[in-house]
Amino acid sequence: MKLYVIDTGYFKLDGGAMFGVVPKSIWNTLNPSDERNLCTWAMRCLLVEEGNRLILIDCGLGNKQSQKFFSYYEPHGEATLISSLRRKGFSTEDVTDVFLTHLHFDHCGGAVKREGEKLLPAFPNATYYCNQRHWDWAVNPNSREKASFLSENILPIQESGQLKMLSKEEELIPGFNTIFVNGHTEAMMLPVIRYKDYTIVYMADLIPSSAHLPVSYVMAYDVRPLITLEEKEVFLNIAAENNYLLFFEHDPKIEACNLRMTERGPRMDKVAEVDFL
């Protein structure tokens, strides 16, 4: 097995929304905001190569939305999904599987491309993976999440016939398992990958950045924040005890880290980069 980090650029989100009840006087030291109270966040994906399988975990914001839409989130940076794949020696046609942790636009926007008037899967030879509970949640969105679940990112995957639903028990490939969590959104999936001597967990939006490691640092975007608190506490203790490597999708600087136990609970220990493991 080989792992490749796929950077898809940066975007901006409101710092208060990203840190919930944490005061700005604290979170602004962790990820300083601009004059509009917006902080910069990464959209960092992971590519897993195993035999003849090439599995992409999440795929960023994409580029098919309107300029008005992009003005809210200010996507920036030199890296794109396609350019990052090319730098690793791959194309969209090479990807055999696209694992979507959940269907919020910053995680699945790149899954679908626009060709003229048509919306088509961006990875023509890939099987796309979701799960039935989350899919049903996303295509019938509640008012809180409606702006995050965009039909143009979701329905073309189903219409193409390339969509497959995963269950908790399924192993995508040997050494690639899944944790289901329900605080951020219904049935979000976190990949757990055995790689060399490491257990790497792709954190998606359970712990979007290293700044969110304290249990109480929960996003205002989460639909069930108290469930997130419980899920984080359980996971962080297991991760610290078992020396898991946490891979952060949204941290603007830190790619991954393991944990150490402190009087305040699990905290970041050593920073790591997947390409150098």
For residues 88-95, give the mean pLDDT: 98
Under the banding of pLDDT at 50, 70 and 90, the label for residue 8 is: very high
| Residue range of the domain that includes 27 | 2-276
Q: What are residue 51's phi and psi, to 5 degrees? A: 60, -125
> Sign of the CA dihedral 140, 71, 108, 24?
negative
Amino acid at 255: E
For residues 223-249, give the mean pLDDT: 97
Tell me, what CATH number does 249's domain have?
3.60.15.10
Q: How many domains does the chain have?
A: 1
Q: What percent of the chain has pLDDT over 70?
A: 100
**pLDDT greater than 90 at residue 168:** no
* pLDDT for the residue numbered 16: 97
Per-residue pLDDT of 94-150, as tens digits, reads 999 999 999 999 999 999 999 988 999 999 999 999 999 999 999 999 999 999 999
* pLDDT for the residue numbered 122: 97
**pLDDT greater than 90 at residue 33:** yes
**pLDDT greater than 90 at residue 265:** no
Mutual orientation of helices 151-159 and 132-139 as an angle, nearest 10°? 130
Under the banding of pLDDT at 50, 70 and 90, the label for residue 1 is: very high
Under the banding of pLDDT at 50, 70 and 90, the label for residue 248 is: very high
* pLDDT for the residue numbered 32: 97
Of 277 and 92, the one with more pLDDT? 92
Whole-structure pTM value = 0.97
Q: What is the DSSP string of 53-113?
A: EEEEE-----S-S-HHHHHHH--BSS--HHHHHHHTT--GGG--EEE-S--SHHHHGGGEE
Under the banding of pLDDT at 50, 70 and 90, the label for residue 153 is: very high
For residue 219, the SS3 value is coil
**pLDDT greater than 90 at residue 170:** no
Q: What is the biggest distance separating any 2 CA atoms in the chain, rounded to whole angstroms?
A: 57
Q: How crowded is residue 83: how many other Cβ atoms within 10 Å of its Cβ?
A: 13
* pLDDT for the residue numbered 192: 97
**pLDDT greater than 90 at residue 275:** no
* pLDDT for the residue numbered 104: 98
**Average pLDDT over the chain, rounded to whole?**
96
Q: What is the DSSP string of 251-266?
A: -SS--EEEEEEETTEE
